[in-house]
Amino acid sequence: MVSDITQSAFTGLSSSYNQTYYLWNMGLAKKFKKNTIEVRLSVYDILNQNKAIARNVTQTYFEDVRTKVLTRYSMITVTYNLRQFKGSKDQGKDEKDRRMFMFPGGTPPPGMPMPGMGMPHGGGMN
């Protein structure tokens, strides 16, 4: 479970715009299938107090603006984790078998590096 509360205060504006409010968000999650799937229910602005207030000031006027914003809402999120890879069954194979798979015929062409070995000395472009 995750929960956070944020206080916002608007002061120094016109009297009806001077306000303080709290944003309280909360989420609850459950993992399934060996932690590969997560289902989360999140609720935002639980207290239904979210506001958008701004003051625009220029040389000739000032303006206090109240804008409609998204207030209380909930969201269900399903996440599938692809990082749960296990070792392959072929891990015990030797280097020669891997080269045979990468390069039919057994060895790479002359001047081509072995997989994971980098460029051979003198094989770079001048």
Domain chopping of the chain, boundaries: 2-80
Q: What is the pLDDT of residue 61?
A: 87
Which tens digit of pLDDT belongs to each residue from 78-90? Answer: 999 887 556 555 5
Query: pLDDT above 90 covers what percent of the chain?
Result: 23
Task: Name the nearest CA neighbour of 42 among 61, 29, 58, 30.
Answer: 29
Residues lower than pLDDT 50 in the chain: 98-100, 103, 119-126
